[in-house]
Structure 1
Amino acid sequence: MLQKVLIEIFDRDLANLKTEVEAYANEDDLWRVDGEIANSAGNLCVHLTGNLRHFFGAVLGATDYVRDRDAEFSSKFVPRAKLLEDIELAKTEVRTVLEGLTEEELSKPYPVEVFGHPMTTEFFLVHLAAHLNYHLGQINYHRRLIATI
């Protein structure tokens, strides 16, 4: 049951991420920072797709994706088309992994101790959904704020 809920949430929020990235009238605004805004929407998008492709794809799905977390926040002016492509890749990897997980696997410890202590796979996947939604809200706010500056 949790599997289906997570698939629905990740599908919805990754579709919303795509919509947000597409909604920037000026592609360069994806990368704007101003005043106290430390992270651009572009960097948050790169971070989200890197995070999901790592924790779902590489760790649980044994893909060959290699995460470069530092680059997620230092990259500049990645073309919008590449951001959108990465969203689709993340969406595919998340769905593929979730569809393949059993209830037993969800209740087992996640293979990596991300927070310095063990947690179940289901706990960590719910955390990843919340993390995606948190940054999605930041991107939405960034887009609306940057449009007024």
Structure 2
Amino acid sequence: MNEIIGECMRRLDQSLGYLELAAGRLTEDQIWFRPRPKMNAIGNLCLHLAGNEYQHLVCAVGGRPAERDRPSEFLTRGGCTPEELLESLREVRRESRAVVNGLTEKDLERAVTVHYTESSEMENYSWSIQKVLIGTAEHYAYHTGQIVYLAKWLQEEDVHLLNWKHYD
């Protein structure tokens, strides 16, 4: 496997592991808690990550039709347990991995188009597969940090979720 492909997938898997640690400790009410009305809950960010990864890797790179309802990722106010959200993220990862495992070094330079539905009010764009992989990993890590921070804030005890050394 190409180094860029391998590193992007390693980072995506690492972020998913962090989400499993963080969200796996929370209740359904905590997953759907919004610190302020205009802020996203952890559940919304999980739906958003699943939708984004699916759209970019499975659809744009893998050639499946884009079926993402991006607005609902942010408008949803509940209805999924933490485990259901995590399983959705895991399923998307399995599908992404199946697509990415078939890529060659030459494929990385090939341009693909990321398509959005009209309801998303987003513009389609074309990127190289390499840029799609890097952008997807970066986007996932960004929202993973938000989720981990909010999960730490919501938990009852003061536990370092990622076992990193922090100083008081």
Q: Where on the TM-score scale, by shorter chain, does this alignment land: which range? A: 0.7 to 0.9
RMSD: 2.3
Q: Which residue of 2 aligns with 1:41?
A: 42
What does the per-residue CA deviation read over 1:61-111, in whole Å, with 9 as the maximum and x for residues that have no partner? 234662110110111222223202201111102211111111111112233
Distance 1:115 1:123, change over 3 A: farther
Asked if the contact 1:110–1:121 (Cα under 8 Å) also holds between the matched residues in 2, the reply is: yes
Deviation string, structure 1 residues 113-143 (Cα, Å, up to 9, x no partner): 7876643210121011010000000001111
The unaligned stretches of length 5 or more in structure 2 are 116-121, 157-168
Compared CA separation, residues 115 and 91, structure 1 to 2 (3 A): same
Distance 1:112 1:64 in 2: 10
Q: Note if 1:135 corresponds to 2:143.
A: yes
Paired with 1:117 and 1:129, the residues of 2 have a C-alpha distance of 18
1:23 is paired with a residue whose SS is: coil
Conserved 8 A contact 1:46-1:83: yes
DSSP-derived class of the 2:49 partner: helix
- In the aligned structure 1, how far is the partner of 2:61 from the partner of 2:127? 14
Point out the structure with the larger strand share: 2
Residue 21 (structure 2) pairs with residue 23 (structure 1): no
Pick closer, same or farther for the CA change 1:124–1:65 going to 2, 3 Å: closer
Pick from 84, 104, 114 the counterpart of residue 82 of structure 1.
Answer: 84
- Structure 1, unaligned runs of 5 or more: none
Please identify which structure carries the higher helix content: 1
**Residue of structure 1 equivalent to 2:94:** 92
Q: Are the aligned partners of 1:10 and 1:94 in contact in 2 as well (CA < 8 Å)? A: no
**Structure 1 match to 2:16:** 14
Residues 40 and 130 of structure 1, relative CA distance in 2, 3 Å threshold: same
- Which residue of 2 is the match for residue 102 of structure 1? 104
Code of the residue aligned with 1:94 in structure 2: it is S
* Count of residues in correspondence between the two structures: 147
